[in-house]
Chain A
C-alpha cells in the first residue's frame, strides 16, 4: 500500500506518542455522543468506535469521562468515577485494539460550565462566577475540595488503565474545571491557585502529577489546551504557548492537543459550521508546535485528506483531528490510504445531526450517513431475493438514498429525475452564500450510486404507463414537495402591491426580486436567512420578518445563529419578530404585531416566502389507488416535507428493508 500511501505521504507516516505508536496521523478526537446509558459506556459506543478503527483511523480519543459526582452537565455523561464503567471500557478497548488502533480516554470535570439539574449539587469551579450558558453561579472551591477534584482525576485514570486504554487526555481547553482555573475570566482566587499563570496552572500541574502516578509510564498522557478563548480578558495564544512550554517542562506529558473557544460561550467557533473556512484554528497548533517538541494535534474543520496532509507538510501540527469527517465516513482513513479519495463521503459541516443533536440531548447522528449513531443495531435481513428491479422516482436525497441502499443489497436500481440534475432542494439550498458545501451531499450520493451501479436518468417524468412498462418489482416514490402560497398572497399582484414569490423561485432564478424585499420566515432554518443574504448581496434592501420570537429560530442548534447575526448586521438586513402578515397593500404589507395587536405597514416591492411546503404526492396516490403487482413506497418530502436528514432516513429505511 506504499504507493497509495505516498499520495498523502505525511498523513500515513507513523508517529510515536510517548509509549504509543500510531500508524498514521489521523485522529478521531474526543467529542460527545450521548451514547451513554445510565452513566455507563454502551454497546453503541463499542460499535461506533470500532467502526472508525476498522476504517483505519490512526488514533481514537473517546468522549469525556467525568471525574467527580459534582460534574454532570448533561444527562448522558459517562460517570467515570464509578468502577462500574470498567467492563464497558474493556469492551470498547478490546474492540478497537482488534484492528490495531490505539485508543485514549479523555477524562474531565466540566467545572462551572455545567448545571445542577442532574447532580442536584452546586457546580464546582475556581470562583463564584456564573457560566455564560448555564448561568448558574458556581461554588468557589475550598482547598479540600480541590484535593478531591485532583483525586477524582487519579481515580478515573486508574479506571481507564484497568479498562485497557492506551492513554489519557486531560481536556483543559473548552469546558473544564482546569480551564476555569487557567482562565482569568473565571479564576478570581487570591490564594495560591489564582493570580499569575504559574498559580492558575497549579491545578493543572497537580492533576498531571496525580494522573501520571495513577497510569504509570506505559500509557500516554496528553493535555488539550485552549489556544484562544475568544473572550474579553480570556486566555490568548501567547499565554497558551507559555502554558505549553510549562507542560512540556514538567516532563510528564507526551502530547498536546489544541482547541479554540469556550464551549459555553463560543461553541460556534469550536465546532464551526460551513460558514467558517476549513483549517481556521490551525494557527493554534502551529504556534504551539513551534514552541514545544512534543507532538501537537491540530483541529478545526479538517474535511479531506489533502488538506490534512498539507497541514502536516507545512509543519502546523503532527497529527490532525478529523472528527466530523469520520462521523460522516468511518472509512475516511482507509479510503485516503487506498487512494480512492473521491469515494470519501465528505462531511458538509452542516452540524444538523451531529452537533445539533448533541445540544438537544439526543444521540449523535449524521445528515448523510444514516448508520452513524446506529452502528450497534443490525440492519434487517434481506427480505426479497437478489436482483429485484427497483424503480425510484425522484433523485433528491430520499430517492438517492433509497437507491443506494437497495443497490447495495444487490437489487437492480434505476432512478428517474424530472429535473436535469439530481439533489432536489439540497441542490438549491447550496446555491446561496456560505452554503455551497451543503451541495457535497448530492455529489456524495451520486458517487455512491455510481459505485453500486444505480442508473440515474434525468429530465424524465415517468407516467403510470411508463412505470408499468418498466415492469418493476418495487417502486419508490420520492417526488418531493412544492411550495404553498399563503392565503393572503394574490397570484397576480395588483398595481402597486408587492410581488410575492417563494424562496425556491429566487434560487431557481424564476423570480428576481429587487428594491425593498421582505423575506417571510415561517420555517426558522436556513431558507429565509440564506435567501435574505443572497438578495442583500444583490443590492436589495432586505427585512426578514417572522411570527416567531427570533428569525431563524433553529440556526442556533447548528451553531449558525451567531454567524448569521454578524453577517446580517454587516449586510444591513433588518430582522422583525413577533409579526404576522395579514395581507398585501399598496407599497407593502399589512403586518400585525401579535403581542400588542398593533397593525403597521411594512414597505416592500417584493415579498419572498419561506413557508411550509406541501407534499407532491400525486404520483404516489395515483399508484396506490390503482394498485399494482409491485411493492409501493414513498419516502422523503412527498410523505411530509421535512429536512434533508429525514429524507435520507426514509430512503435508507426503505432501501434496506427490501
Chain B
C-alpha cells in the first residue's frame, strides 16, 4: 500500500467546481443497480445506502439510473423517473446535509431492456436483435424519438426541482443513446442515421429544461467492436460535438457485444480504463474543451485514484465498488488512514445485481452494504465487556475477533495452523483471484492493530475452552466433502481436493502432486474450479474440466464472469467436458458419463482435482453446549460473504443484540428500526394508516404504478 503523506496532500481531496457547484473532493460514487427500489421508486433504503457514503465523505453521488420513459423497464426494480420525485427529494436533502452533491442518473436501455415487465416492445434505432436476449426491438418512429427526448428533458427538470444538482445521462452500457451513436445498432436511413444527432438533441433538450443543472454524460468510448462500434477516436469527436451542453464526461467502455467489459471482476486489471480516459482527456484538452473528465473502471485503490488526479489523467474518479467495501474511504484518506481502508477485492460476487432474482446490492467485505436500513451497525460499544475466545482464523473467525475487539471485548483467537486467512487464502491462489488475499490481509492487520490476542498452531478443545470461562465463537471452517465417485485402490494418490491443490500451488509444491494430465471435477460451478483449471493450465498442465452443466462455471453469471471464464478456459487450451459426471477414478484415467445420453468415456488423468462441495467441520461445536455461537463454513460451507455476515451476527448475539430476522424488502416501515445508531431516516411524512393491515408509508414507496 501507498504510504500517504500528510492527510491534506491527497490529490483526491482537492475540491472541484462543476457548473458553479463545489465538489468537496474528487471521489465519485457512480450510478449502479442496487435493487433497493420500492417498485420503481427510489426508496428509503436508497437514502440510507447513499447517506452512509456521503457521511463517509464522498464528494458526488450519482443515484441509480432512472428510466425516462415508462416502456423502458430493463429490470424489475429499475427506477422510473416519473416515480422518483419523493425519493430524489429525500436523497437530495439527506446527501446535501452531509456536504455532498447528488445527481440523478437518467437512462433508457433501448434494445438492452426487457419486455418482461413492461409487456411492451423494446425500442431502438434499428431492428437489430440484442446480442444477449436476442430480442428484436422496434425501429423507433419519429413520435417515439420525440417521446424519449421529452422524457429525458422532463426527468431532468424534475430532478432539478427535487433539489438534485443535476443529471448524468447514460450513453454507456445498457443505453439507447449509445445504440444511436454506434454503427453496430444504428442502421437508420433517416436524419437519425447521423448517429450523434439523437444524443445532441437529448442533451440540448435537457439543458433547456434544466438550466443550471450539472450535466454529465456516461459514454462508452470504446465498444470493443472496431468494425462498426464506437472507438476512442470517434468518441472524442462525438463528445466535441456535444460539448456545449456538457459539464463532464464519464469514460466507460463496452457494448451489448461486451457487457462484461464495463464492470469486470478481478480477472481484468484494476484501472483498465485509465489509458482510454487519458486519451479522451487529452483529445478534449487539445480541442480546447473544458469538459471535466471522470475516470471509471475498477479503480478501487486509493493510490491509483490519487495518481489519476495527480497525473491529470482525470478530474474526478469513480470509486463505486471501493465505496461499497468501505463507506468511509474518503474520511479515512482525510484522516491519513488510507492503509486502513477495507479493500474491494473486485470479486463482483454480491455487488452485481442485474439478475432476475433481484438480489440486493451488498459486499463480501462489508455485508451491511445495501442493508443499512435493516441491519444494525456493529460499531456501537455494548455496556458489558466480555472475554471472548474465537476458534478458527479464517475469514469468519478473523471478522468475529475484529468486531468483538472493536466493541470493547478482550479477544483471543485460536488457530490450529500457523497461518491466518483460512479458505480465503487458498481461494486467492486461483488464477485471477489474487486480490482476495487483500481482504485476508486487512482482517489480519485490523486484528493485530486492535489488539486481538493471536494464538497460532493451537488446537482448541472443549475442556480447554470451558476452562477459560470465556464466551466462545466457533469458526472452524470446513472439511473435504464425501466423494461422489469410485476411486480404485491403485489410484488413491491421484485424487486431491481443489483446496489442497490451491494450497500446493500457493506453497510452490505443485510438483509434489502427480505429473501428467489433469481432470478437474466441478459439480459446484463457482469460481473455484475455473480458477484451479486456469492456474494448472498456466503451470503447463494439460487440463480437462468436467461439469454436469452445459457451461463451465455455470454459476458465474451474476458476477459477470460466465462468458469471460469460458473464453479464457478455451483460450488456455482447457478441454471442457460438459453435461457429464465423474463416475470413477482409475490409474491414469477417469471414467465420465454423459447425463443425457448415458454414454461413458475414459479421459486420461494422473491428477484428479475434486472441486466438489465441502462439509462443515463441526466436531468441536458438537462437543460444546448447544448455545455456543458459530459462524461461517463451520455452520455450512459457503462463501466469504456468509462468513463475515455470520461472524458479525455471532458477536451481536453475544452482546444480547441478535440480528433481526429477515423480512421482505418492500416496506421498511413495517420493521422496527435497528436498535442502535441507525442512519437518520429522511423526513418523509407518514401516510395515513389504511383500514386494514399494518401502517404503511406510501409517500416514498408507493408512488409506483
A interface residues (Cβ-Cβ under 8 A, vs B): 37-40, 69, 72, 74-75, 79, 84, 87-88, 116-123, 128-130, 135-140, 142, 144, 357, 360-362, 522-524, 549-550, 553, 561-562, 565-566, 569-570, 578, 593-596, 612-615, 639-642, 646, 649-650
Contacts and interface: CB of A to CB of B under 8 A. Distances in A.
Given A138-B636, A569-B596, A595-B571, A116 B642 contact: yes
Of listed A39, A130, A136, A137, residue having the most chain B CB within 10 A: A137
Contact of A640 (B137, B570, B615): B137
B597 A569 contact: yes
Contacts of B663: 39, 79
Interface string B491-527: 0000000000000000000000000000000001110
A142 B626 contact: yes
Contacts of A122: 635-636, 638, 642, 646
A357 B115 CA distance: 12
Contact of A614 (B127, B135, B597): B127
B121 A578 contact: no
Interface stretch (B10-18, B158-166, B206-214, B353-361): B353-361
Interface in B108-145: 115-117, 119, 121-122, 127-129, 134-139
A378 to B, nearest CB: 14
Interface string B590-610: 000011110100000000000
Given A38-B664, A144-B626, A523 B693 contact: no
Given A138-B636, A614-B127, A646 B357 contact: no
A240 B594 CA distance: 29
A613 B642 contact: no
A130 B633 CA distance: 13
A578 B566 contact: yes
Contacts of B614: 137
Contacts of B136: 612-615, 640-642
Given A362-B117, A639-B121, A135 B597 contact: no
B689 to A, nearest CB: 13
A121 B116 contact: no
B444 to A, nearest CB: 25
Contacts of A38: 664-667, 670
B683 interface: no
A523 B134 contact: yes
A118 B121 contact: no
A139 B122 CA distance: 44
B645 interface: yes
Given A135-B524, A612-B136, A565 B579 contact: yes
B551 A549 contact: yes
Contacts of B665: 38
Contacts of A566: 596-597
Interface string B620-643: 000000100000000111100010
Nearest to A118: B662
Contacts of B83: none
A522 B637 CA distance: 39
Given A562-B596, A640-B127, A646-B119, 15 more contacts: A72-B662, A119-B662, A120-B367, A120-B371, A120-B645, A120-B662, A121-B661, A128-B616, A135-B613, A137-B637, A550-B551, A566-B597, A578-B570, A612-B136, A615-B139
Contacts of A87: 692-693
Given A118-B662, A137-B613, A84 B694 contact: yes
A69 B661 contact: yes
B563 A549 contact: yes
Closest 6 CB pairs of A and B: A38-B666, A39-B664, A569-B597, A612-B129, A565-B596, A595-B567
A75 B563 CA distance: 26
Contact of A361 (B356, B661, B692): B356
Contacts of A561: 550
Contacts of B563: 549
Contacts of B626: 142, 144
Contacts of B247: none
B134 A569 contact: no
A254 B666 CA distance: 37
Nearest to B548: A132
Of listed A121, A553, A646, residue having the most chain B CB within 10 A: A121
Contacts of B579: 565
Contacts of B137: 640
A360 B116 contact: yes
Given A38-B667, A361-B76, A549-B566, A135 B636 contact: no
25 contacts: A37-B666, A38-B666, A38-B670, A39-B664, A72-B662, A74-B357, A87-B693, A120-B662, A121-B662, A130-B613, A144-B626, A566-B597, A569-B596, A578-B570, A596-B571, A612-B127, A612-B129, A615-B139, A639-B138, A640-B136, A640-B137, A641-B136, A642-B121, A642-B135, A646-B121
Interface residues of B, number: 64
B62 to A, nearest CB: 26
B555 interface: yes
B638 A116 contact: yes
A137 B666 contact: no
Given A116-B642, A135-B525, A642-B121, A595 B570 contact: yes
Contacts of A119: 662
Contacts of B596: 562, 565-566, 569
Nearest to A37: B666
A596 B645 contact: no
Nearest to A549: B551
B693 A137 contact: no
Contact of B662 (A69, A136, A578): A69
A550 B550 contact: yes
A120 B360 CA distance: 11
Contacts of A562: 596
A640 B128 CA distance: 10
A364 to B, nearest CB: 12
Nearest to B479: A128
A40 B357 CA distance: 18
A431 B482 CA distance: 48
Given A565-B596, A569-B596, A137 B662 contact: no
Given A87-B692, A360-B356, A566-B596, A128 B127 contact: no
Nearest to B371: A120
Contacts of B694: 84
A142 B636 CA distance: 13
A524 B693 contact: no
A40 B670 CA distance: 12
B127 A522 contact: no
Interface string B572-602: 0000000100000000000000111101000
A526 to B, nearest CB: 13
Contact of B357 (A84, A117, A649, A650): A117
B594 A137 contact: no
B635 A139 contact: yes
B636 A123 contact: yes
Given A362-B356, A646-B121, A357 B116 contact: yes
A74 B355 CA distance: 12
A39 B666 contact: yes
Contacts of A130: 524, 613
B644 to A, nearest CB: 11
Nearest to A653: B119
A523 B550 CA distance: 18
Contacts of B562: 549
A269 to B, nearest CB: 14
A649 B138 CA distance: 15
Interface string B348-366: 0000000011110000000
Contacts of B615: 128, 137
Contacts of A522: 129, 134
A384 B556 CA distance: 52
A69 B525 CA distance: 27
Of listed B116, B117, B524, residue having the most chain A CB within 10 A: B116
Contacts of B551: 549-550
Contacts of B550: 549-550, 561
